[in-house]
Amino acid sequence: MNRVRFIVTLQYRLLALIVTAPMCLMAQTDTAAGAKIFATNCSGCHGSDGRGGERAPNIATSRNITSLSDKDLSNIIRTGVTGSGMPSFSFFEDNGIANVVAYLRVLQGKTSNSAITGNPAAGRELFFGYAECSNCHMVHGEGGYIASDLTDFASGISPENFRKAIIQAPEVVPAGSQRVDIVTATGHPISGVLRSEDNFDIVILTRDGRFNRYAKSTLRKLSYTGQSLMPTDYKTRLSPNQIDDIIGYLMLSASSIEPVNRRQKRRPE
Ligand code: HEC
Ligand code: HEC
């Protein structure tokens, strides 16, 4: 009797071992669990797609973050960033941190490996011509000042996320890129990016790269658009092939940079 029971338990034990061992090897992180953690703990500040909001920066497509190792990311999440709004999540279990890092990699597109087939030469022409990207963005010292330099934007971002950044406006307009339209005291209409303001003054970055300060009381018109200056109609203005060409151009551009220069920010281990 006893012996039978022993053998039965042993069989269950073995069965459990056979079932769980490969699971431990294969699925060390759980991106679905990570997605839940992200939605409850991170998206309020970083946006549900991780591309930033009013309270926290872009951690999905920003190169400074995508280039960090899993270990660096875990450390940041565990300890937070002292003196900033980034809290410590030391109360997560280790799995929780690993899972949220795994989900962050999904948002960053690191888990996909689709290649881009665009034609860089055609992309360059579009960038500086028809698509007008260079009115606002710079690549290798050529182009506009009002938006970010895209020279090495392509490093560390998947083509899908890159495409998203071009055709789909972020859910929350990041601080420092809202478009405002004003009419000056002399009747001059100006559009630019709202950089800062207080009760009296407003500072607007204009396309020439200048920061212009105006006393609000002198303006004839001041309207906050609540929208980014980044055009939202590229999905219809450009064909999928044209977008691939532009991405191809920017990927080539990023690959021609010394890797040493890519990471300026150093982080303690
Ligand atoms: C209360 C708002 C808030 C919440 C909630 C929050 N963050 Fe942050 N996070 C910030 C801010 C602000 C920064 C910018 C810190 C700085 O100035 O370097 C930041 C920065 C980061 C960075 C980059 C750090 C760096 O050195 O640039 C990562 C990665 C990050 N957060 C991940 C997360 C994750 C993952 C969660 C959820 C578990 C989370 N954050 C929740 C506000 C928040
Ligand atoms: C009228 C100005 C303007 C034009 C034209 C424009 N952009 Fe933008 N773009 C912006 C602004 C403003 C942002 C948001 C803040 C920033 O990155 O400076 C932005 C953001 C982006 C981002 C995300 C950057 C990041 O760090 O997350 C990418 C990628 C981008 N633009 C690519 C393009 C491409 C490609 C074109 C041409 C097809 C283009 N933009 C045309 C103004 C512009």
pLDDT in tens, 240-249: 999 999 998 9
Q: Is 102 in the pocket of ligand 2 (CB under 6 A)?
A: no
Question: Where does the pLDDT of residue 23 fall: very low under 50, low under 70, confident under 90, or very high at 90 and above?
Answer: very low
Q: Does the beta carbon of 232 sit less than 6 angstroms from any atom of ligand 2?
A: no
**Closest by alpha carbon to 226, among 169, 145, 168, 166?**
169
pLDDT (tens digit, 9 = 90+) per residue, 123-141? 999 999 999 999 999 998 9
- 46 CA → ligand 1 middle, Å: 7
Cβ of 254 less than 6 Å from ligand 2:
no
Q: Is 61 in the pocket of ligand 2 (CB under 6 A)?
A: yes
Q: Is the CB of 133 under 6 A from ligand 1?
A: no
Q: What is the spatial distance between Cα 67 and Cα 261, in angstroms, rounded to a whole number?
A: 12
Among 229, 83, 120, 104, smallest CA distance to 157 is for 104
Interior/surface letters 39-64, b for 16+ CB within 10 angstroms, e for the rest: eebbbebbbebbbbbeebbbbbbbbe
pTM: 0.57
pLDDT, tens digit (0-9, with 9 covering 90-100), for 94-113: 789 999 998 888 788 665 44
Q: Does CATH number 1.10.760.10 belong to domain 31-108? A: yes
Does the 120-171+232-262 domain belong in CATH 1.20.1740.10? no
* Segment 77-102 mean pLDDT: 91
pLDDT of residue 260: 41
Euclidean distance between CA atoms 60 and 110, whole angstroms: 10
Given this chain, do its domains 31-108 and 120-171+232-262 carry the same CATH topology?
A: yes
Domain spans in the chain, listed from the N-terminal domain onward: 31-108, 120-171+232-262, 178-228
Question: 215-226: buried (b, 16+ CB within 10 Å) or exposed (e) per residue?
Answer: eeeeeeeeeeee
Quick one: pLDDT at residue 222? 95
Atom of ligand 2 nearest to the CA of 229: 12
178-228 CATH choice from 2.60.120.260, 3.40.50.720, 2.30.30.100, 3.40.630.30: 2.30.30.100
- Mutual angle of helices 94-108 and 70-79, in 10-degree steps: 120
